């Protein structure tokens, strides 16, 4: 190994093993290593209350239809009419947009019914299914298929939901259906598509976790587990549900501290990466939120400090024990994004208050990166601050190239840009994590070819190049399911580290990695995923692959 390479490796090991406390002087001098921000658009006309990345590298963005006139018009001759809308009976502005990552452009979409505080999931064919909302939208299912033509738009299916779904959670299942769970005063769940006249199913757990008028159990955190059951967290409690039998199979311990984590206390949660190269260990992490009294006290102008604690629980263990950690700062209404190298980005939110209109103060503009597999007390790193506050109704999602798309924030009613402390924000930003800094370009893989169809348990290969290949044992293949993100929860987000077989050298700087497709549909439901080659913690850009079940 030459002297230059040894010095280079020493620099990398030093960075990845030690992060000193962030100071303002350090942030100014090491902006690349502490992440970077770029403004993509000062305004796209619509506030990004909900976002979903589709397999054609376009992002569906929408807010709500009873919000007043947006800053982007529908195509000439198209308007929405609603005599029950208290703001506008005739609205010729758009409340949804389609953002193209490659061209950094956007165009309006037409949504007819109110999508406020709704949910979504992507079917195995790549179609976004979006459920519920408010008023005329609370029983509606909407679909949007990935497409390239200018006429592509929402398709709305009225009265398709058996119950009113407002603040509910969606999750894709191994059989390709979507389960729709909860909602305001809805302590039940149902499925889409329906097999016949499927009813909704009562879930006592949602009733038991409701904090009176303050609720604190809306948008429950839901994750599909490798055994096929569902982990559901609401307020402070968690269960494991066999949805096929409508039976709670385990009750997990309450998160320590007895402080709620769901809307409107609004913490966030993530399923940590599932690794097929070791005995499967399933861990969920819940971070931030607001004290139980926050929502009530904000009426009197009292804003309590947000929670700074995170809890990790392994559901592989029985009964399971919460291990608590402390974030560098308190946070409510933050988003948690799985980065391609397996780190967790915690972004957006406020330091005091709770979710809802004008209920929070002191925006937290510095993201935090959490590295799950470091030693305790050395897992959090504070990143570069954004110049834009992102409070209530903000979102963040992973993009194909590894950047994170950040938008939204309308912490008060309607499109209000003046005479308020935090105006409605229509901008889009991109946050680049440290692995995208120029210093790590020599370690970044570039995918040359890949089998775009992955079959369960079947071998496939990826050919890639990298300028400085360090050693075979530090290369991995990772699948990420893009999330439907709203109200600080990334529905359906999951990462699977695929079982590796071998890495072969083909020529100078060119290699072939052979791996297995996911073991089961429960570990990775059929559908479209982003695949990343990760080398020494530095990921390639993502490539779309489809996991296909040949048994269907």
The least confident of 145-154, 390-399, 462-471 is 145-154
Q: How confident is the model at residue 413 (pLDDT cuts 50, 70, 90)?
A: confident
Whole-number Å distance between alpha carbons of 132 and 170 = 10
| Residue 476 backbone dihedrals phi, psi, to 5 degrees | -140, 160
Measure the CA–CA gap between 348 and 225, rounded to whole angstroms.
Answer: 27
Strands (DSSP E) found in 327-427: 335-338, 344-347, 350-353, 360-363, 368-370, 380-382, 394-398, 404-408
Residue pair 62/85 in contact by the 8 Å Cβ criterion: no
pLDDT tens column, 418-430 = 999 999 999 999 9
| Gap between the Cα atoms of 203 and 284, Å rounded | 21
Q: How far apart are CA 121 and CA 169, in angstroms?
A: 9
By C-alpha distance, which of 37, 31, 28 is closest to 429?
37
pLDDT digits (tens, 9 = 90+) for 130-151: 999 999 999 999 999 998 777 7
Give me the mean pLDDT over the 58-75 stretch. 94
Q: How many residues are recorded in the chain?
A: 552
pLDDT top residue among 506 and 16: 506
User: Both ends of the chain: CA-CA distance in Å?
Assistant: 51
Q: Are 45 and 62 spatial neighbours (Cβ–Cβ below 8 Å)? A: no
Q: In the structure encoding, which two tokens stand for residue 116, read together? A: 């406020």
pLDDT reported for residue 541: 98
pLDDT of residue 166: 98
Q: Which residues contact 44 (CB under 8 A, 6 or more apart)?
A: 61, 72, 97, 99, 106, 407, 426, 427, 428
Provide the pairing of β-strand 543-548 with 453-455.
parallel
- 166 phi-psi bin (left φ>0, alpha ψ -120 to 50, beta other): beta
Indicate if the pLDDT at residue 15 is higher than 70.
no
Instruction: Give the range among 79-88, 89-98, 277-286 with minimum mean pLDDT.
Output: 79-88
What single string gives the DSSP state of each residue in 231-247? EEEETTEEEEEETTTTE
- pLDDT recorded at residue 28: 33
Rounded-to-integer distance, Cα 37 and Cα 404, Å:
10
Q: How far apart are CA 483 and CA 171, in angstroms?
A: 10
User: What H or E segment, with its residue span, contains residue 15?
Assistant: helix 3-17
Measured between alpha carbons, how far is residue 448 from residues 125, 461, 511 in Å?
25, 11, 10
CB-based contact 143:129 (threshold 8 Å): yes
- The pLDDT assigned to 211 comes to 94
Question: Tokens 């502490």, residue?
Answer: 34
| pLDDT above 60 for 87 | yes
pLDDT tens for 231-274 read 999 999 999 999 999 999 999 999 999 999 999 999 999 999 99
Q: Which residue has the higher pLDDT, 28 or 298?
A: 298
202 alpha-carbon distance from chain centroid: 27
Distance CA 355, CA 260 (A): 12
Alpha-carbon gap, residue 219 to 483, rounded angstroms: 14
Q: Which domains does the chain have, with CATH numbers?
A: 17-436 (2.130.10.80), 437-548 (2.60.40.10)
Per-residue pLDDT band for 552 (boundaries 50, 70, 90) equals low
Which residue in the block uniquely carries the two structure tokens 């982003």?
Answer: 530
Sign of CA dihedral 347, 405, 59, 88: positive
What was the pLDDT predicted at 82? 86
In this predicted structure, what is the pLDDT of residue 295? 94
Res 23 pLDDT > 60: no
Q: What is the mean pLDDT of residues 363-388?
A: 96
Assess whether pLDDT exceeds 90 at residue 16: no
Cα separation, 200 vs 80, whole angstroms: 31
3 state SS of 208 = helix
Which of 67, 232, 204 is closest to 137 using CA atoms? Answer: 67
* pLDDT at res. 4: 43
With a cut of 80, say whether residue 62 has pLDDT above it.
Answer: yes
Q: Which residue has the higher pLDDT, 412 or 221?
A: 221
Residue 377 forms beta bridges with which residues?
none
Q: What's the chain's average pLDDT?
A: 92
CA 307 to chain centre: 20
pTM score:
0.93
The residue among 469, 527, 513 whose CA lies nearest residue 277 is 513
Tell me which residue has tokens 């729709």: 180
Range 166-190 average pLDDT:
98
Q: Which two tokens stand for residue 380?
A: 């959090």
d(CA 207, CA 215): 10
* Rounded average pLDDT over 393-419: 95
For residue 115, give the nearest of 101, 127, 126, 129 by alpha carbon.
129
**24 has pLDDT over 80:** no
Chain centre distance of CA 21: 27
11 has a pLDDT exceeding 80: no
Q: What is the pLDDT of residues 424-455, one digit of tens each?
A: 999 999 999 999 999 999 999 999 999 999 99
pLDDT, residue 32, reads 72
Q: Does 397 have pLDDT greater than 70?
A: yes
């Amino acid at each position: 190994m030459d002297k230059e390479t040894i010095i280079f490796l020493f620099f990398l090991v030093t960075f990845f093993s030690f992060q000193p406390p962030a100071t303002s002087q350090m942030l100014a001098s090491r902006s690349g290593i502490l992440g970077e921000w770029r403004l993509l658009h000062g305004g796209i006309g619509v506030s990004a209350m909900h976002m979903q990345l589709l397999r054609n590298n376009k992002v569906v963005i929408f807010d709500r239809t009873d919000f007043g006139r947006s800053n982007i018009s529908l195509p000439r001759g198209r308007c929405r009419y609603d005599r029950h809308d208290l703001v506008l009976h005739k609205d010729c502005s758009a409340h949804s947009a389609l953002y193209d990552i490659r061209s950094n452009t956007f165009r309006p979409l037409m949504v007819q019914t109110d999508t406020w505080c709704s949910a979504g999931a992507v079917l195995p064919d790549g179609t976004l299914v979006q459920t519920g909302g408010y008023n005329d939208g609370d029983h509606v299912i909407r679909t949007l298929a990935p497409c390239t033509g200018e006429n592509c738009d929402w398709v709305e299916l009225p009265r398709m939901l058996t119950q009113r779904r407002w603040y509910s959670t969606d999750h894709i299942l191994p059989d390709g259906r979507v389960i729709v769970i909860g909602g305001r005063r809805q302590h039940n769940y149902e499925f889409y598509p329906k097999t016949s006249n499927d009813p909704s199913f009562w879930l006592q757990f949602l009733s038991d976790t409701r904090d009176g008028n303050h609720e604190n159990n809306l948008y429950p955190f839901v994750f599909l587990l490798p055994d096929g059951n569902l982990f559901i967290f609401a307020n402070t409690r968690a269960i494991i549900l066999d949805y096929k039998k409508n039976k709670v199979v385990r009750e997990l311990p309450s998160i320590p501290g007895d402080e709620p984590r769901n809307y409107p206390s609004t913490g966030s949660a993530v399923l940590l990466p599932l690794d097929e190269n070791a005995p499967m260990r399933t861990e969920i992490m819940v971070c931030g939120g607001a004290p139980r009294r926050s929502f009530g006290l904000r009426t009197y102008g009292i804003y309590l400090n947000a929670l700074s604690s995170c809890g990790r629980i392994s559901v592989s263990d029985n009964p399971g024990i919460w291990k608590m950690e402390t974030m560098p700062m308190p946070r409510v209404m933050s988003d948690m994004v799985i980065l391609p190298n397996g780190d967790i980005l915690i972004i957006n939110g406020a330091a005091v208050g709770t979710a809802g209109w004008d209920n929070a103060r002191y925006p937290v503009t510095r993201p935090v990166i959490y590295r799950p597999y470091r030693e305790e007390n050395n897992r959090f790193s504070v990143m570069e601050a954004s110049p834009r506050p992102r409070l209530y109704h903000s979102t963040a999602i992973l993009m194909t190239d590894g950047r994170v798309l950040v938008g939204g924030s309308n912490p008060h009613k309607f499109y209000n840009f003046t005479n308020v402390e935090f105006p409605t924000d229509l901008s889009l930003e991109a946050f680049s994590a440290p692995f995208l800094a120029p210093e790590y370009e020599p370690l970044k893989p570039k995918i040359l070819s890949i089998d775009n169809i992955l079959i369960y348990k079947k071998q496939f290969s990826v050919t890639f190049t990298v300028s400085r290949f360090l050693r075979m044992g530090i290369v991995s293949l990772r699948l990420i399911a893009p999330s439907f993100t709203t109200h600080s929860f990334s529905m359906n987000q999951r990462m699977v580290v695929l079982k590796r077989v071998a890495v072969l050298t083909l020529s100078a700087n060119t290699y072939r990695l052979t791996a297995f497709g996911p073991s089961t549909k429960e570990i990775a439901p059929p559908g479209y995923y982003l695949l990343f080659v990760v080398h020494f913690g530095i990921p390639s850009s993502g490539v779309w692959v489809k996991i296909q079940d040949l048994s269907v």
